[in-house]
Amino acid sequence: MDRVKLPVMLLSACLALCAGCSASTRPSLPEGWKTVTHRGVDISVPRSWTVEPWHANCGVTSPTVFIGPEGRAVLYCPLSVPGGSEVILGALPQVGGKAPVPQSINGLKALVTTTQAVFHGSLGATITYIYVSLPTKEMTIFVMVGDSARAPGGAPGRAMQIVETIHSAGK
């Protein structure tokens, strides 16, 4: 066989095997952000955010990443305006609401549901809620972030900015 044809045939075979593959990529992070890893998945948030194991709570007053799994706790919290922004790695799957949209996030197949709510009163900001289900990782991530600096940890587009950092750990 011709020495030129063999490498071309091998390359063609490799490309055919990987048709439809999506390579995992590591996103570039905003300056001053840190990465948190859980069950083979990385997500990044501003460095000032607290990271702690998940526990039943009535919301947070400062930006927090909870590392799950999230438990099915029933709390009777007074109805209040959300305080700080939060991310839950290992969240319970979303039940009801809008249908998730299939997406690829840095090479990971994901089902993403995004909703927003406007809170009045002292906060007076829009809060974005995003559920990201990663079926191949058997994990759900919940992101709740204000779209204004009036919400601790919030900034315009911050919730989606956090979601866009999700990727396979070590990639």
Q: Say which DSSP state 148 is in.
A: S
pLDDT for 122 equals 62
pLDDT along the chain (171 residues), means of 10: 42 37 71 96 96 88 91 67 83 89 96 85 78 96 91 92 95 66
Pairing mode, strands 86-89 and 101-105: unpaired
pLDDT for 56 equals 85
pLDDT for 80 equals 56
Q: How far apart are alpha carbons 104 and 166 in whole angstroms?
A: 10
Q: Could you state, in order of their start, the residue ranges of all structural domains in the chain?
A: 23-168
Q: How far apart are alpha carbons 149 and 46 in whole angstroms?
A: 13
pTM to 2 decimal places: 0.81
**Residue in the block written with tokens 């992101």:** 143
